[in-house]
Amino acid sequence: MGFDVVPTDCLAARLAPQLPGATLLELAFAGGGGFSRGTLKTMLLGGRDGAIRQDGRIVTVPRAWRTQRIPFRDRPRTAITIPWGDVSTAQWSTKIPNVHTYLALPPATRRLLPLLSLLQPLLALPAVRRFTERQIDARVSGPSATVRASARMQLWGRVTHPDGRTVEETATVPEGYRFTAIAAAECARRVLAAAPAAGYHTPSTAFGATLLDDLLQIP
């Protein structure tokens, strides 16, 4: 019900009908105003591997398994694959069996990734994990209210057919944590007003791909 995965899920659900028979879905995001303590802990301590969906199954791949230049709406950026939530959810929304998700990172951060992989066994030690968590708690405060109000997130998606045809779309949404608050409140309101059918839902199967457009109208 938050930035992970409402906007990307709705973008995927918009793309899939435009290219029936597509077998690969790629999604990417960039921008924002920094990370919260919880997000940073997950990134640093959440494990050494990445994940993609391949032929309908979620499979493990190395961290930053693939790098790609992404043409976001504002400007191109280099992004790496990450195990974002759409790896799990997007197949249910689109029926597309192969899903790759990307995060755009600045060059300096990308250069640190091999070092982080080397440090991962050390970060798995309980004492090191506790120390790292304390340092994050003491030094990271997350994006300020001003940043949350002004920053924007860039989204990109592409579906690819086996014959080589592709369809792409981009979108721009509010800063990720702000968007999460807006989306969670609106999804809760909709559930109370007219709950979707019982069972498992992604954002787009519960409320339709137009959910993203509706959320962008909320001040």
Task: Quote the DSSP letter at residue 77.
Answer: E
Q: How many residues does the chain have?
A: 219
**Average pLDDT in the chain:** 92
- Using CA atoms, how far apart are residues 202 and 205, in angstroms rounded to an integer? 5
Binned at pLDDT 50, 70 and 90, residue 211 comes out as very high
Angular region, 182: left φ>0, alpha ψ -120 to 50, beta rest: alpha
Buried/exposed 73-95: b ≥16 CB within 10 Å, e otherwise: eeeebebbbbbbbbbbbbbebbe
Look at residue 128 in the predicted model and tell me its pLDDT.
Answer: 87
pLDDT tens digits, residue range 35-86?
Answer: 888 887 877 777 668 999 999 999 999 988 999 999 999 999 999 999 999 9
pTM of the shown model: 0.91
- Using CA atoms, how far apart are residues 216 and 207, in angstroms rounded to an integer? 15
pLDDT tens digits, residue range 81-120?
Answer: 999 999 999 999 999 999 999 999 988 878 777 777 777 7
Cα–Cα distances in angstroms (integers) from residue 141 to residues 4, 45, 150, 196, in the given order:
20, 18, 17, 37
- Using CA atoms, how far apart are residues 8 and 195, in angstroms rounded to an integer? 22
Residue bearing the bigger pLDDT, 31 or 15: 15
E-assigned strands of the chain? 24-31, 49-54, 57-62, 67-71, 76-81, 98-104, 152-160, 166-174
- Using CA atoms, how far apart are residues 183 and 107, in angstroms rounded to an integer? 31
Q: Which tokens go with 140?
A: 């990271």
pLDDT tens digits, residue range 192-205?
Answer: 999 999 999 999 99
Answer whether 78's CB lies under 8 Å from 2's CB.
Answer: no
Amino acid code (one letter) for 186: E
Look at residue 121 in the predicted model and tell me its pLDDT.
Answer: 81
Answer whether 54's CB lies under 8 Å from 98's CB.
Answer: yes
